[in-house]
Amino acid sequence: MASSQFSLPPSLEASRIAGLPPSAYYIADFISEEEEQKILEKVERAPKARWRQLTHRRLQTWPSDLVKNTLLDGQPLPAWLEEPIISRLLSVPVLPSSSDSSGDEKEKQQQQHIFADSPHGRPNHVLINEYPPNTGIMPHKDGAAYHPVVCTVSLGSSLCLNLYKAKEDGALDSEPVWRILQEPRSLLITTADLYTEYLHGIDPLSADVNMSERTIANWSLLREPSLYQNGENQRGVRVSLTYRDVLKVSKLGSKLGPMFNRRP
By C-beta, is 11 or 159 nearer to ligand AKG? 159
Bridge partners, 130 (sequence order): 58, 239
Contact 160, 229 (CB under 8 A): no
Q: How far is the CB of 204 from ligand AKG (least distance, A)?
A: 13
By C-beta, is 60 or 152 nearer to ligand AKG? 152
Contact 59, 128 (CB under 8 A): yes
Residue 200 makes contact with ligand AKG by CB under 6 A: yes
- Build a one-symbol-per-residue string for 70-89: x at contacts with ligand AKG by CB under 6 A, - elsewhere: --------------------
CB atoms within 10 A of CB 264: 7
Rounded Cα distance between 123 and 69, Å, is 15
Rounded Cα distance between 250 and 145, Å, is 13
Residues in 124-143 that interact with ligand AKG by CB under 6 A:
127, 129, 137, 142
By C-beta, is 118 or 129 nearer to ligand AKG? 129
Rounded Cα distance between 161 and 63, Å, is 25
Bridge partners, 180 (sequence order): 161
Q: How many residues sit close enough to ligand AKG to count as binding (CB under 6 A)?
A: 9
Out of 152, 157, 190, 233, point to the residue binding ligand AKG (CB under 6 A). Answer: 152
Binding site for ligand AKG (CB under 6 A): 127, 129, 137, 142, 152, 161, 200, 240, 242
